[in-house]
Amino acid sequence: MAPSRSRNVILPLLAAGLLPQSAWSFECKNIVAQGQQFNLEKLGGPHIVHWEQENTDLEALVKYNFTIDLCNALKWHKGGSSATECHHGARVCALREIIDLNSANSSMVTPIDIAGTYKTYNGREIDAKFELLRNSKSNSDASREGLRAELHGGRHPFEDKKEGIDQRAIIEFVCDTERTGLEGDEKDDGEHEEDPKDDDKKDDGKKEQKLRRREDDNGKCQDSKSSLRFCGYAKETPKKDSVVQTLRLEWRTKYACENVRDVPSDDKSSHWGFFGWFFIM
Ligand SMILES: *[C@@H]1O[C@H](CO)[C@@H](O)[C@H](O)[C@H]1NC(C)=O
């Protein structure tokens, strides 16, 4: 018991010293958050989350499809164009559709780069940062197991240095031993906001306010059984004078549990490991 505890202390210290907290790019199967290692490889591939909101100023319905591939750059769809796809290198991409409520069939689709590494365009980087939920300064996280990823690089409009707004994605991977993380993936999108066609405008406004208030209150996420949930997309000011439009997602998965790698039968090797480390020290 004592040896394995020592090992648990020494390894993170070593890792924290040797590995950068902020990585330009990262490997999904070896993500290090403050000395703890996670393998999120199984969460790779494109996953979609939906959100819609009525904008009363524009008298429009704004629908978002957020696509995230944690492990690789998103691929364009067949026949896709820059009008409907994020720039090459994006790992988190929003497709925003603005539907004019005053004129039937009038809608405008805009891709929004949220995070990625754009070597061939403007060189913006994903600059991924990982931290443990329980080590974070914020509020109620102390009791939660998992990690938080912050991904950068996006901007909208992408090429607009002056008017563009920086984008980022903050994804909280929350340990849930019962979930792989793929429950309700993509197809089960029936849990998001009600279809506005079934409601009148006023009701929608109220709901929107309610949703917003809930988000402001304590960062509650969309009520959904899906493992990957939408929690917000709003302008934030992490630093004075810097506005960053932030997509917040929650991903409940066993791969965010710290002991998911622990195989009970390797007692001997962990002892050996301790003596190995001891020897080195
Ligand atoms: C968003 O996703 C939905 C459901 O997958 C799809 O029907 C819709 O066409 C998508 N919107 C855009 C703008 O691609």
pLDDT tens track for 140-195: 666 789 999 999 999 999 988 889 999 999 999 999 999 999 999 864 333 322 33
Give nearest CA residue, ligand 1 atom 2. Answer: 65
Which tens digit of pLDDT belongs to each residue from 12-69?
544 444 444 444 578 999 999 999 999 999 999 999 999 999 999 889 999 999 999 9
Q: What is the 3-state secondary structure (H, E, C) of the chain?
A: CHHHHHHHHHHHHHHHHHCCCEECCCECCEEEECCEEECCHHHCCCEEEEEEEEECCCCEEEEEEEEECCCCCCCCCCCCCCCCCCCCCEEEEEEEEEEECCCCCCEEEEEEEEEECCCCCCCCCCCEEEEEHHHCCCHHHHHCCEEEEEECECEECCCCCCCCEEEEEEEEEEECCCCCCCCCCCCCCCCCCCCHHHCCHHHHHHHHHHHHHHHHHHCCCCCCCCCEEEEEEEEEEEECCEEEEEEEEEEEEHHHCCCCCCCCCCHHHHHHHHHHHHHHC
Expressed in angstroms and rounded, the spacing between residue 203 Cα and the centre of ligand 1 is 24
- End-to-end CA, the chain: 20
Q: From the alpha carbon of 186, which atom of ligand 1 is closest?
A: 5
Q: Is 229 exposed, middle or buried (0-12, 13-18, 19+ CB in 10 A)?
A: buried
Expressed in angstroms and rounded, the spacing between residue 86 Cα and the centre of ligand 1 is 15
Expressed in angstroms and rounded, the spacing between residue 65 Cα and the centre of ligand 1 is 6
* Predicted TM-score of the model (pTM): 0.75
Q: Considering only residues 273 and 197, tell me which one the structure prediction assigns the higher pLDDT.
A: 273
